[in-house]
Chains A and B, each alone.
Chain A
Amino acid sequence: MLEALQYEFIQNAIIAGVLISIAAGIIGSLVIVNRITFLAGGIAHSSYGGIGIAIYLGIPILFGATIFSVIVAIIIAMITLKDKKRIDSIIGIMWATGMAIGIVFVDLTPGYNVDLMSYLFGSIIAVPTSDIWYMLGLDVVIIALVTFFYREFLAISYDSEFAHLRGINIKFFYTLLLVLSALTVVAAIKVVGLILVIALISIPTYLAEIFSNTLSKMMFLSAIFASFFTLSGLSISYMYDISSGASIILTAVASLVVVKLFKR
C-alpha cells in the first residue's frame, strides 16, 4: 500500500482530504452548535445552480459555484433573520431552485452533457492542484476569522439574545457563518462531493461533541476525526477498489457506532 504514496494523485488526495477536514471540522462545529445542518445542506445543494451556470458560460466551475453559493448564503441569511419560523420551508425552496437552475443551464449548454450527479460524491482521487490551493486559502481564512472572532462566535451560538444585548452584531456574524459554510461546501464539492461534505460536517462534529467541554476543543477534535476518517476511508477505497466518498462516510459511521456503543 505504501508504494501508492509515490503517485502524485494519491499525494493530492491525502493533502486535499486533510485540508477539507480542517475546514469541515471548524465550520461544521459552528454549524452543529447553531443547529443549522439542514441550512448548510441547502446551500450545498443549491450551489449546483452555480455549477450549471459556470458550465454554460464556460467559466471555471469553482469560481461559478463560489459566487453563486455565497449569494445563496446571503439570501438565506437575510430571509431567516427576518422570519426564523419558516426557515425550513425557505431552505427547501432554495435547495430545489438551485438544483433546477443547474440542470436547466447544463441542458442549455450546447454539445456538453455533464452528469450533475457526479458532483454528489465527487472524486478525491482526481483533485487538481488548483483546488488544493483554494482549500489551503480557505483554511487560512477560516482559522484566522474564527480565532479572531472566537468570543463573538461563541456568544452568538450559545446565547444570541444576550450577545445582542451586549451590542454584538448578530446579523453580521450569522451571515458570516453562512458565507463560510458556503465556501467550505464549495471547496469540497468537486473534491469529495456534496454528500461527503455534509457527512464531514455532521459525523465527526457529533462525535467530537461527546468528548468536548469547549467549542474550540470540539473544532480541533472534529478536524482530527474528519482527517482520520478521510485517510482511512481513502486507504480502504484503494485496497478494495471501491468509491472513496462512500468508504469515507462508512468508516465515519462505523466509528460513530462503536463510540456510541462504548460511551453513553
Chain B
Amino acid sequence: MNNIIEINNLSFFYAKSKVLENINLTILENDFLAIIGPNGGGKSTLLKLILGILKSKKGEIKSGFESNSIGYVPQNTNLNINFPITALEVVLMGHIGGKRPLFGYSKDEICCANSSLKQVGMEDFSNTKIGNLSGGQRQRVFIARALCANPKIILLDEPTASIDVLGQTEVYELLKELNKSISIVVVSHDISVLLNYAKNVAHVNKNLVYHTLDNVQKNVQNSNEHLCEVELLSALSNNHFPGCNHEH
C-alpha cells in the first residue's frame, strides 16, 4: 500500500509552549485513521498542520498532492444554522478557490455538487435550508462539500460531537462506504464507535503513539457493547510496541 501523507519529526509551538513534539505518522492509501487523545493534547493542531492552516518550522509533512485536494470537514457544523443557505450551496462552496465562471456557478460545478449530494444520500434535500436539516444530515452535507474537491483523503474534526446516536451511525456508515476509495482521518472522542470502523489509531498527547487496530480489537472482548475510554486505553496498552513512549 502507498503512503499518501508522511510526517517526519514534526514539532509545533504556540508562543513558547510545545504542543506537538517529534511527531512521526504515515497515512496510507485507503487508511481509516482515528486520532484520539485528551483535550488540549494537540489533535486539532495536528489536523491544521496537515491541512496547511498552520505551518511548522520543525519537521516536515510530505504529501503527494496539493493541499487543496485534501477534503476537510470542520468541527462545528451546528454553528450559524439560521444562515440562509441551501444544502446545495454549502456543497458548491467546495469549488471555491479554483477556476471560476464570471458569475455564479458553472453547470459542471452544479452537476458535481449534485452528484456529491447523491453520494452521501442527501440528493432529496438539495434545496433545503441547512438549518432545517438534522445534525447527522448536515454533517453528511459537509462531507459532500469535502468530496467536491475530488480528494484522496478527507480529514474530519469531531464529526459526531453534537449529533444523536442514529446520526452518528449514519455518518460512520457513510465514511466506511467512502473509505473504499478515499483515505479517512477522523479526530474523535467517540472511541467506542470508532473502534468498529477505524483501521489504525493515533493517540496524540504532545507525542504520538500509533497502533494498528486489528490487534487491539482482539484485546477488546465485547466490541459491540459500549466501551469506555479506560477499557480502550488498557486494550491499547496491551499492544505496546517495544520502546514506545506513552504519556498518560
Contact surface of A with B, Cβ cutoff 8 Å = 33, 147-148, 150-152, 154-155, 157-159, 161-168, 209, 212-215, 217-218
Interchain CB contact under 8 A, A161 and B84: no
Task: Give min CB distance, A174 to chain B, whole Å.
Answer: 15
CB pair A154–B68 under 8 Å, yes or no, is no
Report chain B residues within 8 Å CB of A152.
96
A-B contact pairs, 14 of them (CB 8 A): A157-B83, A159-B74, A163-B93, A163-B96, A165-B51, A166-B93, A166-B96, A168-B96, A168-B97, A213-B86, A213-B128, A214-B86, A215-B85, A217-B84
* Given A158-B93, A161-B74, A162-B72, A150-B104 contact (CB < 8 Å): yes
A152–B68 alpha-carbon span in the complex (Å): 16
B80 is an interface residue with CB less than 8 A from chain A: yes
A33 to B53: give the CA distance in the assembly, Å.
Answer: 24
- Number of residues from B at the complex interface, CB < 8 A: 29
Q: Shortest beta-carbon distance, B17 to chain A, in Å? A: 19
Complex-state Cα separation, A214 to B104, whole angstroms:
13
- Minimum distance in angstroms from B165 CB to a CB of chain A: 26
Q: Which residues of B contact A164 (CB under 8 A)?
A: 53
With both beta carbons as reference points, the residue of chain B lying nearest to A33 in the complex is identified as B83
Q: Which of B67-126 contact A (CB under 8 A)?
A: 68, 72, 74, 80, 82-86, 89-90, 92-93, 95-98, 100, 102-105
CA distance A33 to B85 in the complex (A): 10
Residues of chain B contacted by A147 (CB below 8 angstroms) = 103
Q: Contacts A162-B93, A167-B68, A214-B85 hold; do A151 and B104 have CB atoms under 8 A apart?
A: yes
- Secondary structure type dominating chain A contacts: helix
Given contacts A158-B90, A159-B74, contact A213 B83 (CB under 8 A): no
List chain A residues, Cβ under 8 A from B68.
Answer: 165-167
Contact mask B2-44 → A, CB, 8 Å, 1/0?
0000000000000000000000000000000000000000000
Residues A162 and B129 in contact, CB atoms below 8 Å apart: no
**CB-based contact A209/B104 at 8 Å:** no
Q: Which residues of B contact A215 (CB under 8 A)?
A: 83-85, 89
- Say whether B129 contacts A213, CB under 8 Å: yes
For B51, B85, B102, B128, the residue with the greatest tally of chain A CB atoms inside 10 Å of its CB is B85
